[in-house]
């Protein structure tokens, strides 16, 4: 089962409330256990007061020791029940957080992998990593704390305040007047915490980007002796990150003792006026049990209220992260795999009056027309920057065009992504290897044997000599392989996963002429029932190619190599220059 079927569907992924609605069952259990636990917290102050009173009664001879033991046992049983409710609440809060984290990451993941190349290029790697990891963690942590503190602070505060008012409402009002002051200070710090956290996240993204750059390009920097310069640059990013991290956390965490002091200030009033109540000269008449219960409930309430102030800051911190990832939280639409196309049938490619241009710019190519059938290899060539690669990318939907590209009876523009991926395979300039083994770079999760494809690209003997064979890791982006080895792995991957039409952009640029001829011969065999569009600036194989599309001056000529040599002087000069140069090098 694919991953997206294992994750719950989020109706409105850009709304925080949707993630709470998605976890109604855990939240229901959290609510029930949270209320029972936090109301049960009143048992602590109550029994503490009763035990203090019982001790005084024993000293005065009114009660015996065993009565205190019985009271202590009852207290212990009640606390065990309360703590059991607490464990249930904590378990489901963590489950809620884990599920929410998974769902958020799933939404973010699908948004990133379905971005266009242009959108991805606008997001640097460090920012993406920060959003996908740190920002999601911060959001979920804020939601977890909110869910926890609704009960551990909200419900228990109501319970404690109710208990205080029950014993002496005047003293309760007087002692609790300090708590809103702590809330007021926390609210005033909201803007500062938001600003510092936003700066901290941006700095973290820059540091992640510098780290990935330093690792990915380590060999390049080593070769050019630039390691010291890059280390200095990295250290500057690290120092900035440390500075921003301190600034972001100092106001959130160092204010906690101040919140505690402010909230606990009411205890002075309780000691003074509570003593009067015990002596019978206060607002009401208390015994030692009442005084102890009131004082214990107040201190516990004050500590909880100071944590509520910190919660405000934590939620504000989470809001910063949510604002960063919210634009990427988009509903995931499952790929449309409904199709009427018979992919087992040989394809036919027809291009008519094709014009390619970016919005607002003049055409790169215009009036391009050609056709190809299964078993044919079509060579595409021309001077530097004539639009060869742009034409290749048009077939995979990365470049806008006008005119008609038809695959069989279907227009390319009308194919969905699933249909296009089942009809067209593409190998670009960059090998784009994944940081895995050679075999996994070729298989991409499939389990067929790869030896035939390694042989086809003349890479089987080199792989056999490697310590781990095909299981050898290629390193980050293929850094452990040479340029020619990277290109051959990428070509083997394309052939292994070949569809009806293969777009190969300069697949032989990093191999020698002898190897190129051998790979070309194998390509003929493996692609005998497919259409191959071979984009290349190396022309000495073109006499063996079925048809040639020669691009120059924004347009193209489609003919055979022989006819082009006779009728197109530019093509003939390019070919003769390369053949002459190649002969001198042999």
Q: Collapsing DSSP states into helix, strand and coil, what is residue 495?
A: helix
DSSP character at residue 335: P
* DSSP β-bridge partners for residue 437: 473
**Which pair of tokens denotes residue 457?**
């690209």
Task: For residues 100-122, give the mean pLDDT.
Answer: 75
Q: Are strands 531-535 and 501-505 parallel, antiparallel or unpaired?
A: parallel
pLDDT at 300: 80
pLDDT mean over 288-297 = 84
Q: State residue 583's pLDDT score.
A: 46
Would you tell me how many other CB atoms lie within 10 Å of the CB of residue 497?
16
Give the pLDDT mean for 485-499. 91
Average pLDDT over residues 125-145: 76
Pairing, β 401-407 against β 547-552: unpaired
pLDDT digits (tens, 9 = 90+) for 416-463: 888 888 899 999 888 888 888 999 999 888 888 999 999 999 999 999
Q: What is the pLDDT of residue 324?
A: 80
- CA nearest to 109, candidates 139, 142, 141, 131: 131
Tokens of 427: 């190998």
Residue 525, class by beta-carbon neighbours within 10 Å (0-12 exposed, 13-18 middle, 19+ buried)? Answer: exposed
At 394 the pLDDT is: 92
Instruction: Give the whole-number percent of the chain exceeding pLDDT 90.
Output: 23
Task: Tell me what pLDDT residue 478 has.
Answer: 80
Closest CA to 373 of 406, 348, 393, 338: 348
In three state form, how does the secondary structure of 119-134 look?
Answer: HHHHCCHHHHHHHHHH
Contact predicate 13/329, CB 8 Å:
yes
Average pLDDT over residues 225-253: 78
Q: Which helix (H) or strand (E) holds 352?
A: strand 348-356
pLDDT of residue 571: 92
The angle formed by the CA atoms of residues 23, 41 and 286, to the nearest 5 degrees, is 150
Segment 550-572 shows an average pLDDT of: 93
Please determine, for residue 5, whether its predicted confidence score (pLDDT) is greater than 60. no
Most confident of 294-303, 313-322, 419-428: 419-428
- The answer to whether residues 537 and 510 touch, using CB atoms and an 8 Å cutoff, is no
Give the number of C-alpha atoms closer than 13 A to the C-alpha of residue 355, restricted to the C-beta side: 11
Whether the full predicted model's pTM is greater than 0.75, yes or no, is: no
For the beta carbon of residue 1, count every other beta carbon within 10 angstroms: 5
Phi-psi group of 12: left, alpha or beta (phi > 0 → left; psi -120 to 50 → alpha; rest → beta): beta
**CA–CA distance, 302 with 172 (Å, rounded to integer):** 12
Q: How does residue 247 score in pLDDT terms, banded at 50, 70 and 90?
A: confident
Identify any residues that bridge with 60 across adjacent strands, giving them in sequence order.
Answer: none
Distance, in Å, from the CA atom of 348 to the CA atom of 408, rounded to the nearest integer, reads: 5
Alpha carbon distance 504, 488 (integer Å)? 12
Least confident of 84-88, 196-200, 522-526: 196-200
Give the side-chain half-sphere CA count within 13 A for 188: 7
pLDDT at 292 over 80: yes
> Which residues, in sequence order, are CB contacts of 517 under 8 Å at separation 6+?
541
């Amino acid at each position: 089962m694919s991953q997206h079927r294992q994750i719950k569907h989020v109706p409105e992924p850009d709304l925080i409330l949707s993630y709470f609605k998605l976890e109604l069952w855990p939240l229901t259990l959290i609510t029930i256990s949270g209320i029972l636990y936090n109301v049960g917290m009143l048992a602590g102050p109550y029994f503490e007061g009763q035990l203090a009173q019982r001790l005084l009664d024993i000293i005065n001879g009114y009660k015996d020791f065993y009565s205190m033991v019985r009271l202590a046992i009852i207290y212990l049983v009640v606390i065990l029940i309360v703590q059991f409710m607490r464990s249930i609440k904590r378990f489901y809060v963590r489950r809620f957080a884990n599920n929410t984290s998974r769902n958020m990451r799933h939404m973010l993941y699908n948004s990133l992998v379905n971005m266009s190349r242009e959108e991805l290029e606008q997001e640097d790697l460090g920012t993406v990593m920060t959003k996908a990891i740190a920002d999601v963690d911060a959001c979920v942590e804020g939601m977890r704390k909110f869910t926890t503190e609704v009960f551990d602070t909200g419900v228990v505060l109501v319970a404690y305040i109710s208990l205080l008012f029950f014993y002496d409402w005047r003293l309760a009002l007087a002692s609790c007047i300090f708590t809103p002051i702590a809330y007021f200070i926390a609210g005033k710090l909201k803007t500062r915490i938001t600003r510092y956290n936003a700066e901290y996240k941006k700095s973290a993204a820059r540091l992640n980007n510098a780290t990935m750059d330093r690792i990915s390009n380590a060999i390049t920097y080593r070769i050019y002796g630039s390691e010291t310069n890059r280390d200095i640059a990295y250290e500057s990013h690290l120092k900035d990150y440390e500075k921003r991290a301190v600034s972001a956390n100092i106001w959130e965490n160092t204010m906690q003792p101040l919140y505690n002091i402010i909230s606990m200030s009411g205890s002075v009033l309780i000691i003074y006026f509570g003593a009067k109540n015990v002596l019978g000269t206060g607002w009401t008449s208390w015994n030692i049990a009442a005084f102890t219960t009131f004082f214990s409930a107040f201190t516990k309430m004050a500590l909880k209220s100071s944590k509520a102030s910190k919660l405000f800051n934590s939620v504000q911190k989470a809001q910063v992260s949510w604002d960063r990832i919210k634009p990427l939280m988009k509903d995931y639409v499952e790929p449309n795999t409904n199709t009427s196309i018979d992919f087992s049938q040989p394809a036919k490619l027809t291009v008519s009056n094709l014009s390619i241009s970016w919005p607002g710019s003049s055409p790169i190519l215009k009036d391009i027309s050609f056709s190809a059938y299964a078993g044919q290899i079509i060579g595409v060539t021309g001077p530097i920057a004539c639009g060869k690669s742009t034409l290749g990318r048009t077939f995979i939907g990365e470049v806008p065009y006008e005119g008609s590209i038809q695959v069989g009876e279907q227009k390319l523009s009308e194919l969905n992504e699933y249909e296009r991926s089942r009809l067209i395979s593409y190998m670009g300039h960059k090998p784009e290897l994944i940081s895995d083994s050679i075999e996994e770079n070729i298989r991409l999760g499939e389990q067929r044997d790869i030896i035939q494809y390694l042989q086809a690209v003349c890479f089987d003997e080199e792989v056999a000599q490697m310590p781990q064979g095909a299981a050898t890791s290629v390193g980050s982006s293929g850094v452990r392989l040479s340029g020619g080895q990277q290109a051959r792995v990428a070509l083997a991957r394309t052939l292994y996963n070949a569809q009806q039409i293969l777009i190969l952009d300069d697949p032989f640029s990093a191999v020698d002429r002898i190897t190129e001829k051998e790979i070309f011969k194998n390509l003929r065999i493996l692609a005998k029932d497919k259409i191959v569009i071979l984009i290349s600036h190396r022309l000495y194989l073109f006499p063996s190619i079925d048809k040639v599309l020669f691009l120059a001056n924004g347009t193209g000529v489609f003919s055979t190599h022989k006819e082009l040599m006779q009728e197109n002087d530019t093509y003939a000069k390019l070919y003769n220059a390369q053949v002459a140069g190649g002969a001198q090098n042999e």
